[in-house]
A and B are shown apart, each in its own frame.
Chain A
């Protein structure tokens, strides 16, 4: 049976009415329904659909016609209600975003014409190509991507240097530019201490401790882990140091490096002796015995931060910041429970743990790396679970608890384990609440050991600040409530673990030494582009991982999101033709 509703002089455009027809058609109990303006042409359409009625025939062009074919007359009322409701809330929730999303470099540039930095997180095989494009456009590059060949890194950095630009990375996990956390980074107060360093948890640990001690960071420029290797020659680190030397709001420079090539190291140190500002350095694995001129070399990341803070606050630099009382009362270990298992999400933190453990074991301070194990000795293990070995096809342990949970259980089953040593790295990019995610596994591990007659000690540090998106204090509280021994920083955590198994690190009271005459002279000036990078808020093209825009948007910094995809969908033939048709 056909029912007709004519809404006189009720104009809606045809698209609206088609959508409405679709919505109404979905109702149960209707054979057919059509809603259209009653124009002559539309009447023909009604006719074709077998929905032509006398009421419709009489309707005029400005009338809305609803014709319903149904066996149930009650449905007509329902349809009418639905129509009224639909027409009432027609407005569509648009939801505009804080930034534009583009698909090409051209469009990125025209959307943000004054951009000065590309944050690139595309797959490693494409990273060099995209970084080159960014450099050609006159942009500094923050290269988060890893698996970039060494020769590509050298080429990119040389090109950047010639153009007066900086390449931060590759494998640049973290950075802070004018207070803005980049990639995986803590929210650190702005301040007088500038950092250049291998870009990972080393920068995070130092900058977070600086924040917690009440000082702040001007910039933290990541260099990538291989910058101080021979083929690269510390291009980014040296340009970064020059940048901070010329940045008037930076009073102190902190330099963080993984074990460097000797020649390159000496060149960097020579440069540091040239700068006019006090410098704190750490070359991971080197146990310094002196402070030399304006260069204060530290042994641990915490010491690096503390020296910098003391200088910033006009205090005398102490001879040592590492020694302390790390005793844990009433330790009860069974015979044979001697081993420390360091299960780390942060690479540099793992390395630091390995150095200190190795030192405590009397094995020297050199770091090795085998399958992510930065230390493996008589049951003692320190493993970097963020190493490529453990992240193939799996999320990084800073994001996902699974791999670490597995290792914690393994450690608990191992009868030699006395201490499980952990890091919790907060900040942008990291898991929302890793403490809560790992605690069930930790508690299970401890109770498992207990059932087997063993006490298991869990020692941890939390790398974070009170302004991080996660709850720093809450993290510590939750861990402590579950029986985890929480120390302020990784250095203290490692030493606490050592003391539980009856070991300790012998610390050196560092002596002051006058500046030795540098062998070379250095030009300390920087390009206008680099000056612009350190003196102004960055304007960022984010190429790849969209989540990196969170921190940038939260900092009210202009950003355009480039939803990167492989050129020509990865079609090699077309890719080649395109490169020929440039």
Chain B
């Protein structure tokens, strides 16, 4: 190891996180950035690698929706048959510089946001947020869902892309995140402030884009209505920053956390691309009427990249508005949650100071060693999908990352270092 100690290596990793410079620069069809999507029928999915037959309902539903969207099939039955008979190749988003919410299903022609981390010169991609209700990421694939996806591809994506071109530099995401965290966002459960800041930044450019006026109105309306629009930008940001930081190929800093509905997977800085997995937990939370814990799908989605980045559940204290997801408690519970999460982090990110936390910085650098030592598992704020495909979101709540992943990662790293 080129560092004198693991602490030193970890410090190098978190310095890269703090020193990162993520910019939102473009929106493009996924295939233009991810060449794997041009090689036959390929779908990206959330989490560590998984086979079709092991996917839970929502992810399978998303696959069906994506097949319909891409025109690979004209109905549900055909799509399902095609997916089941091995015609489609599945690749984790994480393997191609991407992340995807919930099912994370991303296909060639879906528009993705492009976040460039200028400190390291790397990029990351994520699909755009579709709003709430019947949406692909929760496994819905009705006509309405496919129609919206087509509109996002044909209208929303190109409009934002053109708007971003008009900005000199793209949008400086660190600045937007820093502002929004003081406005009550924790960037997983709550993104309304950041989404508004995004709208504020992009609107002056959108009004300059040459386009159909009805489309322009629809785009503005969509962005104004979509409270979680920034979540997907945040996810790409987390991915870009952490991929940049894990170029330090040593240490025990968690560089990714993700779930495919079956397994929870983590990466640590010292073990490169390797996943360390354990069976996922099922989120506990609040449910829409008619639904209960029984209906909850197990934990799913790449969005836990936000927690790996130090926000989301880790920054619960930043978002008093959603504190009651932690055990329906109050402010004090949110405070305890973030304080507890600090126990497993190396430092605090001074770029993102949290007023409700006495201006302490957001959590920075989950140390897998501390997770195992204390038994404190990172907490993740998450939407809850119905376990059947097509029904969509049924609630929201929190879930913990299983300790076993961290234990496996440490064991492997100790082996790599020749310590055991």
Tell me the A residues contacting B by CB distance below 8 Å: 13, 15-16, 18-19, 21-22, 25, 32-34, 36, 40-41, 44-45, 48-51, 92-96, 100-104, 106-107, 565, 567-569, 571, 574, 576-578, 580-582
Contacts and interface: CB of A to CB of B under 8 A. Distances in A.
Given A92-B330, A104-B343, A578 B324 contact: no
B413 A574 contact: no
- Give 9 closest A-B pairs by Cβ, nearest first: A92-B330, A34-B289, A49-B290, A94-B332, A18-B286, A41-B133, A580-B419, A103-B343, A41-B132
A582 B8 CA distance: 11
A22 B133 contact: no
Interface in B247-273: 252
B324 to A, nearest CB: 5
Contacts of B133: 40-41, 44-45
B359 to A, nearest CB: 15
Interface string B306-327: 0000000000000001101100
Contacts, number: 106
A388 to B, nearest CB: 29
A565 B373 CA distance: 9
A577 B328 contact: no
B321 A13 contact: yes
Contact of B414 (A41, A104, A565, A580): A580
Contacts of B134: 44
Given A48-B290, A92-B329, A574-B410, A569 B375 contact: yes
Interface residues of B, number: 44
Interface string B396-420: 1000000000010011011001011
Nearest to A107: B343
B340 A103 contact: yes
5 contacts: A34-B288, A34-B289, A41-B131, A107-B343, A580-B414
Interface centre among A565, A574, A576 (most CB of B within 10 A): A574
Contacts of A51: 289
Contacts of B336: 101
A188 B271 CA distance: 58
B286 A96 contact: no
Interface in B36-55: none
Contact of B411 (A41, A48, A103, A577): A577
Contact of B288 (A45, A104, A581): A45
Contacts of B324: 15-16, 19
Contacts of A18: 286-288, 395
A571 B289 CA distance: 42
Contacts of A33: 289
Interface of B: 5-6, 131-134, 252, 286-290, 321-322, 324-325, 328-332, 336, 339-340, 342-343, 369-370, 372-376, 391, 395-396, 407, 410-411, 413-414, 417, 419-420
Contact of B330 (A94, A577, A581): A94
Nearest to B5: A582
B420 A19 contact: no
A578 B369 contact: yes
A32 B287 CA distance: 13
Given A18-B287, A44-B134, A582 B373 contact: no
A581 to B, nearest CB: 6
Nearest to B131: A41
Contact of B286 (A19, A41, A49, A565): A19
Contacts of B342: 107
B373 A15 contact: no
B289 to A, nearest CB: 4
B330 A103 contact: no
A21 B373 contact: no
A102 B372 contact: no
A103 B372 contact: no
B187 to A, nearest CB: 16
A565 B369 contact: no
B325 A15 contact: yes
Given A104-B343, A107-B342, A581-B413, A50 B372 contact: no
B410 A578 contact: yes
A102 B339 contact: yes
B171 to A, nearest CB: 27
B290 A103 contact: no
Nearest to B346: A106
A574 B289 contact: no
Contacts of B289: 21, 25, 32-34, 45, 49, 51
A32 B369 contact: no
Contacts of A40: 133
A580 B420 contact: yes
B374 A103 contact: yes
A565 B375 contact: yes
A426 B5 CA distance: 50
B329 A102 contact: no
B322 A574 contact: no
A33 B289 CA distance: 7
Nearest to A580: B419
A32 B290 contact: yes
A53 B262 CA distance: 39
Contacts of A106: 343, 370
